[in-house]
């Protein structure tokens, strides 16, 4: 072969390609070997794939409610309040789920809870981001407050909001004072900065108010 007449470009004919193949194969094989040797070291990452599964689960198809009326614990006949009859705490699954809490936040604004309670700071209605609860802080008590309404302005939303949405709102309302799991909280607020984001500050122990309900 005379070097003077050599052009560096090889022809793209099948024979020339066959000549190049062993080198490519060798590269591929060494890459594969490298990845294979790395694999055991990567196994410890696998559990992390499942860490936030539950936090982000969402249901796309909402099941229609059963025909029976949504369960509301009637606390007393006249003045519902924590001292008289405190219901057992029921776990609210929505509190472990960041999607449902953010939905609750959307409904909190859409159904005009903000109109009276603002973004937790209160206004015409009592604040929701402090540790004082007039009608109880358990999920079921908050649920009952929304569904039944309370004296001096809190309207009853019975039949107006679907059950799933109600529990989502309950989860969001409780997150305002840091009562829900911090790891499931929605950390960012879309509205103008007012109160610190839900669940970002440690709160005092929630206590159900010993004062009589506001007159």
Q: Phi, psi (5° rounding) for residue 64? A: -65, 145
**Which region, judged by CB under 8 A, interacts with another protein, from 15-23, 34-42, 49-57, 81-89?**
15-23
Query: In the chain, what is the greatest distance between 2 CA atoms, to the nearest angstrom?
Result: 109
CA distance 144 to 53: 30
Please provide the size of the chain in residues.
215
Verify binding: residue 38, another protein, rule CB under 8 A: no
Q: Is 122 left (phi over 0), alpha (psi -120 to 50) or beta?
A: left
Question: Which region, judged by CB under 8 A, interacts with another protein, from 1-9, 32-40, 76-84, 198-206?
Answer: 1-9
Query: CB under 8 A: which stretch of 9-17, 38-46, 48-56, 75-83 binds another protein?
Result: 9-17
Q: Does 36 bind another protein (CB under 8 A)?
A: no
CB of 70 to another protein, least distance (A): 10
Give the span between the Cα atoms of 137 and 160, in whole angstroms: 22
Question: Which tokens sit at 84?
Answer: 């008289």
Residues within window 102-121 making contact with another protein, judged by CB under 8 A? 110-111
Site for another protein in 46-85 (CB under 8 A): 60-67
Q: Which of 174, 60, 55 is nearest to 108 (CA)?
A: 174
Residues 143-202 that bind another protein (CB under 8 A): 159-162, 164-165
We find the least distance from the C-beta atom of residue 130 to another protein, in angstroms, to be 27
| DSSP tag of 173 | H
Residue ranges binding another protein (CB under 8 A):
1, 4-7, 9-11, 13-16, 18-19, 60-67, 110-111, 159-162, 164-165
């Amino acid at each position: 072969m005379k070097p003077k007449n050599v052009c560096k470009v090889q022809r793209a004919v099948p024979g020339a390609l066959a000549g190049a193949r062993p080198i490519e194969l060798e590269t591929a094989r060494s890459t594969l070997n490298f990845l294979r040797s790395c694999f055991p070291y990567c196994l410890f990452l696998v559990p992390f794939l499942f860490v936030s599964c539950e936090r982000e689960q969402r249901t796309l198809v909402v099941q229609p409610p059963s025909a029976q009326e949504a369960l509301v614990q009637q606390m007393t006949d006249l003045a519902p309040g924590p001292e008289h009859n405190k219901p057992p705490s029921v776990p609210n699954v929505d509190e472990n789920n960041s999607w449902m809490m953010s939905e609750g936040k959307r409904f909190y604004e859409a159904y005009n809870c903000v109109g009276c309670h603002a973004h937790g700071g209160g206004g015409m209605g009592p604040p929701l981001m402090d540790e004082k609860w007039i009608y109880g802080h358990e999920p079921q008590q908050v649920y009952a407050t929304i569904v039944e309404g309370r004296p001096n302005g809190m309207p009853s939303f019975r039949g107006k909001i679907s059950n799933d949405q109600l529990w989502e709102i309950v989860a969001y309302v409780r997150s305002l004072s840091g009562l829900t799991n911090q790891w499931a909280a929605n950390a960012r607020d879309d509205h103008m900065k007012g109160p610190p984001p839900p669940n970002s500050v440690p709160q005092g122990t929630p206590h159900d108010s010993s004062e009589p309900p506001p007159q």
